[in-house]
Chain A
Amino acid sequence: MKLKQFGLTIIFFTLINFTVIAHPNKSTPTTLNIELTLKQQLGEYHPPYVASWIENSQGKPVRTLLLWREQAKWLKDIRRWWRKVGKKDAELVDGITSATRITGKYPLSFLAENDEKASLKKGKYTLFIEVVRENGGRAIIRQPFSLNGEKSTFTLAATNETDEIKFSVTP
């Protein structure tokens, strides 16, 4: 083997190794797809305040996916989310806020990352969706799921504030 050839071979193998080591689980990051539905209501209607977030298996919140709200005064009414997340993190609240939505279907997609944009580790989590409406009711939906490299799909039963919601975890 000539020296040049030997050198190239080394480089070639190094590249392969490098590729393998640098991307141990490299694939497209897992996405969480939620087809959120806000139910048609009768009578006086104020668009609901909505928060959706993920808690780990210890019940610790790791990521707020969305917050649809208007005035700060009513944030406390998104009870669990405010207690576990909102009250403690004014910056996060500002950063994630968007306007309330009316009745309808909202397809949404999120990367399975924590609030610091790092990929969530393999393991068990729970998706929460909390919907609170002035002069209406409150609904809280909990759906346990796993991040284990496998696809899973869930249909979340309708509540007083939501129609059926499709939720999928796609690696």
Chain B
Amino acid sequence: MNVKKFIALTLTCAISTQAFAHSRWVLPTHFNLSAENGEWIMVDITASNETFNVDKAMGADFVKIIMPDGKTSRPSSTYKGHRKSVADYFLKESGTYKITNNSNAAYMTTYEIDGDRKRLWANKTELSGKLPDQAKEIQTTYRYSRIESYVTMNTPSNNFNTDGKLLELVPVTHPSDIAENEKVMFKFLFNGKAQKNVSVEITADGVRYRNDPQTIKLRSNAKGEITFTPQNAGRYLLIAEHQENTPKSTLADKQMGSVFLTFEAQLN
């Protein structure tokens, strides 16, 4: 490896580490249910770097549930506490439900002033008048985060529609089929196309009670796929991120998508 390549690689790593700084997740009470006449679930919603201990409440206002028939529905009630929000939802029909708490896509401009890193919710055309004269290292990013999980009642369905916006995770292994010691495959799309080299980190529940977080770090292959084998039954948080420069855009310097997927590996 020549020096240039080495530096490039180091930079990539440095960027990803920084970008992975803040986790958000949804945690349903159940991932797999059997029922004759429907079943209730509750979902925890939080911004927390500790998997799966809650930290800061995120509002549940953006929580949407995509039902097995593809229609969107909302929680029947929500509560916002200091550490987490919770949402209540009744699953009526058999099939796979996708629970999402996606952010709104937004332009974020970061800059440095007197050695401090600051941010501002504005695109490049909106900066004049908002940005201090001494601002340096100005960079505008178009961002969108998907915070999601799948819950299946009785017969699973492939509730995996995509919308082509920045980063998306498409299960190849159905989330209700994930089990300890069995290979799992997911696929990543960026703006609707298979995306290689997406950074992925997967961490099992219970980080508070072990010294080594034992995070699995992966990159998607040329087909946008990752494969991994959960070693233990339990709940996992997958964080994926991908960004690209957008030199042609008048609004942003780069675009960045992230996915926070909560899933369960079942006992085998």
- Where the two chains meet, the residues of A that have a C-beta atom closer than 8 Å to any C-beta of B are 72-76, 79-80, 82-83, 86-88, 90, 138, 140
Contact with A along B250-268 (1 / 0, CB 8 A): 0000000000000000111
6 other A-B residue contacts (CB within 8 Å) besides A80-B267, A88-B155? A74-B34, A79-B268, A80-B179, A83-B266, A87-B155, A90-B154
CB within 8 Å of A: which B4-33 residues:
30, 32-33
Instruction: State whether A76 touches B155 (Cβ < 8 A).
Output: no
- Where the two chains meet, the residues of B that have a C-beta atom closer than 8 Å to any C-beta of A are 30, 32-36, 39, 152, 154-156, 176-177, 179, 266-268
Instruction: State whether A90 touches B267 (Cβ < 8 A).
Output: no
Complex interface: chain A residues within 8 A of B155 (CB): 87-88, 90
CB distance from A26 to the nearest CB of B (A): 39
Complex interface: chain B residues within 8 A of A90 (CB): 154-155
| Nearest residue, chain B, Cβ from A74 | B34
Q: How far is the CA of A72 from the CA of B37 in the complex (A)?
A: 9
A73-B39, A83-B266, A138-B267 are contacts. A88–B156 as well, Cβ < 8 Å?
Answer: yes
Instruction: State whether B35 touches A72 (Cβ < 8 A).
Output: yes
Q: How far is the CA of A108 from the CA of B179 in the complex (A)?
A: 30
Q: How far is the CA of A123 from the CA of B130 in the complex (A)?
A: 74
A83-B177, A87-B155, A90-B155 are contacts. A76–B34 as well, Cβ < 8 Å?
Answer: yes
Complex interface: chain B residues within 8 A of A80 (CB): 179, 266-268
Q: How far is the CA of A73 from the CA of B34 in the complex (A)?
A: 5
Instruction: State whether B34 touches A72 (Cβ < 8 A).
Output: yes
Complex interface: chain B residues within 8 A of A72 (CB): 34-36
CB distance from B155 to the nearest CB of A (A): 6
Instruction: State whether A87 touches B34 (Cβ < 8 A).
Output: yes
Complex interface: chain B residues within 8 A of A138 (CB): 267
Instruction: State whether A82 touches B268 (Cβ < 8 A).
Output: no
- Which residue of A76, A79, A87, A140 contacts B156 across the interface (Cβ within 8 Å)? A87
- Which residue of A73, A83, A88 contacts B179 across the interface (Cβ within 8 Å)? A83
A87-B154, A87-B155 are contacts. A82–B267 as well, Cβ < 8 Å?
Answer: no
| Nearest residue, chain B, Cβ from A78 | B34
Complex interface: chain A residues within 8 A of B177 (CB): 83
